[in-house]
Amino acid sequence: MQWTTAERYTRIEETTKEELQQLAEQVNACPWRQTYHIQPETGLLNDPNGFSFYNGEYHLFYQWFPLGPVHGIKYWYHTKSKNLINWENAGVAIRPNDDIDSHGAYSGSGIEHNGNLYLMYTGNTRDENWVRHPKQNIAVMNKEGIIEKWPLPVIDQVPDGYTDHFRDPKVWKENNMFYAVIGAQRTDKTGCVVLYSSPDMRDWTFEGEIQTDLPDFGYMWECPDYFIVNGQGVLAFSPQGIAPDGDNYHNIYQSGYVLGKLDVKTKTFTHSFFQELDRGFDFYAPQSMEAPDGRRIMVGWMGLPEVDYPTDQHGWAHCLTLPREITVENGKLMQRPVRELTEKRGTRMEAKAVLKNETKTFESFSGTSYELISEFNQIDAESFGMEIRVSETEKTILMYDAVQKKVVLDRTNSGAPSGTKYGTVRKCFLDAEQVKFHIFVDTSSIEVFVNDGEEVFTSRIFPRENSTGIRFFANGGSVSCHAVKWTIGG
């Protein structure tokens, strides 16, 4: 279905309860609804926003167009949790109903200040000639959960030298000063990040562009995030317009990071090379926050712009990834599922075997949503791994190619196709004597943490409901396999 501009800019306030109920019934009948991931009640979810801890709870907002699986006028939707695993829908947080955000409440971030949660976001506005004029706005949530927008933008204009692609402020506090990085596009159509400062979250000063060693790296940098973990500065962002290079950059748009140290005085960032955050098919626009215990937690959008998904025909699209604990070890950003997820473990099953030129199933190993850890050692096989969501016609393959030293995720036969224009196989290099796959499977997704988070593959898959099998295999030799599986409770 093709959506007109008028339909994309229809507001939820302009629809009837009956229309919304009909859409909700269509969505709930979809066979690919997730069981333990954050997903929209209807319509389209995209970037995570405002991720923060405030008043004893984690707060996570996301971009939302409620009326269908397209990028229409964006609201902020609010979810909250006391433990990062059980999320409660709290309703619409920011409505794009004012002059400062008339054509959408775009992405932004949250920070506690003066006893309230300050949400800084980009207001998308357009003039009578449909020319975009982005505004950087503030909405404030109090301890009762009431959110009020400030009537005027705190950053009203785009600085000289940049186009109207100027959005997604991420705020942090350093030495009693607030700073925000904003994703930008120079007038020469190259991407970058700029820096603002403020003593009070109200009056913002343009400090300038952050100087990096990536002067011509894509045409737009979206959703920047700067934070320090393990004493190491991390600049994460989502560059658009990067050409594939070997096993890298095969999605329509990428998300990655550089390690270094940002000097806010000189606006320079001396850094390592750009590395992808996730090697899978569906990961974009991540955002991080600091938990009360000091952990750095990241959540990403499990989807990509401008890609059709099989759930579109059911009136909804996309979900968020599971929260991940972020550390920096030996010059690399490591990602592990938050430890709280162990609380969702239900029935436990365990199996051990030596696989030799064979494919093997284990009793009670099947399902459509579960957590599974597979450890492979004593490797003498050319390739080995596992197949999940298996039936006679469908399977998703996760394997290690010991000859090429690569992890491979193959969704060629995973079910209903998605994004096949960009290929059906993803790979990355991993030189390892032992291989551990820690996976979370939900109705229509798989998240793979390789060797305790050294690499991560996040992907949507759309198999039939009867594709429930799990198989383990070794080719060209033998490997020892130890697998533990848990059902996932509510």
Which positions are annotated as active-site residues? 47
Those residues with Cβ within 8 angstroms of residue 339's Cβ, 6 or more apart along the chain or in another chain: 325
Which own/partner pairs from 140-147 qualify as long-range (CB within 8 Å, at least 24 positions apart)?
Answer: 140/116, 141/54, 141/59, 141/93, 141/116, 141/117, 142/115, 142/116, 142/117, 143/55, 143/115, 143/116, 145/90, 147/93, 147/94, 147/119
Residue 342 β-bridge partners? none
Q: Could you tell me the two tokens for 198?
A: 């403020």
Evaluated on CA atoms 143, 148, 152, 157, the torsion sign reads: positive
* C-alpha 443, offset from chain centre: 18
**209 torsion bin: left (phi>0), alpha (psi -120 to 50), beta (else):** beta
Nearest to 40 by CA among 254, 309, 229: 309
CA 286 to CA 448: how far, in whole Å?
A: 17
| Number of other CB atoms surrounding residue 347 within 10 Å | 11
Q: Could you tell me the two tokens for 363?
A: 């009793």
SS3 360: strand
